[in-house]
Structure 1
Amino acid sequence: MEARERILHAAARLLSESDGEPVSTRAICAEAGVGAPTLYHHFGDKQGLFDAVVAHGFEAYLAEKRAQPSTGDLVADLARGWDVQVEFGRRHPAFYALMYGNAKPGKPSAAAEEAHAMLVSMLAELARAGRLRVEVELAARSIEAAVVGVTLQAIAQPDDELTLARSALVREALLDALIVGRKPPSKRKTASAVATQLLSLLGEGAEELGAAENALLREWLTRLASPR
């Protein structure tokens, strides 16, 4: 392999074997068989190297997600995607801690953006079918926040039986809260789902309405779609 790839793979391997302990650039260079100037030439500094390792970890995670064929049931696919992420974090705790535990505000990696786009696409389809109780982006961010929290806790407090039970409990409660049809909705939640569906179908606006009317309609629908 080229020097850059050797350094990247060495850092990933040492992090995977570190059990959460810090990994020095000296150890990475020794493992890769390069000098420190080579590492700094390719990655700038230690943080630049770890940013590249995060991207590498996300690509490995996405490869697992892409390899999962659709079941034909979007809700089942969402639940399975949750389980894939939790299991990935349990098998690769150092990677996962770097991917999500040291996130920088406003600086998602390309792979992280792809993972988010995949989730948004699935939720948008549910919204178009009238099955989502809240706006697509809110639903996506809620799922991401919950699954990351569950996975980081599973890493910090490993216990196979409790981890699986806790993950399933949070997953099912959240999907019940977000998706119509998993439990009998209240009238309020039904109105929220209809408003969310109309927002999703509205697109750039209704041609029959003027700009001001479209803006007012969107404001009303957004208020109805917001959970109380």
Structure 2
Amino acid sequence: MPERRYRPISPDLLARELTEAILAGPISRVAIDGAGAAPGTLADAVAELLRPHGRETLRVSTKDFLRAASLRYERGKRDPDARYDDWLDIGGLRREVLDPAGPGGSGLALPALWDAERDRATRLDRVRLRPGAVVLVDGELLLGHGLPFDFTVHLLLSPGALARHLPAAEHWALPAFERYADEVAPGEFADVVVRMDDPRHPALIERA
């Protein structure tokens, strides 16, 4: 296994470095993945930094691309394997967001597909992405599905930190995240891996 180095970094500088990496490459579809690590906060910060550079951004969250309750809860509302296998509408995310935003895509993306609280389609209009637009997708259990992301960021938490940051009412899902770490191992292949045990003091994991 390659040697790893941990480089402490402030949250602001982390957002700036991710922005610079996106600007430096032909990147239009970005995943920021991490349960209990507030990936949406980081995605929002990167989106704000991209806009002054003339890069239109579309923010998408996997919580708006969940499957219908009848499918998510078929094995019960607190089944960790169902959370791992059945909650995210992978096909919908690809069809409505990632493929349209990619090379040769229509450029018409849907910001949200499903309202999980009301358990119905959002019925939002598609938005037209201008050339050079960046789609920033945040969520949990996001990697390892073969989704066509151009740039992936994984926010890594130790098991103890995940238990601390995850609301107590969500602790039933901890086995799903343990399974993700074991079976997918996103920390081994994501383009950027950030240790987020203390969100005020992240550390970039750099492979020697």
Compute the TM-score of the two structures, normalised by the length of structure 1: 0.24
Bigger relative contact order, structure 1 or 2 (CA pairs below 8 A, ≥6 apart): 2
Query: Which structure: greater strand fraction?
Result: 2
Please give the TM-score of this superposition, normalised by the length of structure 2: 0.26
Larger Rg: 1
Which structure has greater helix proportion?
A: 1
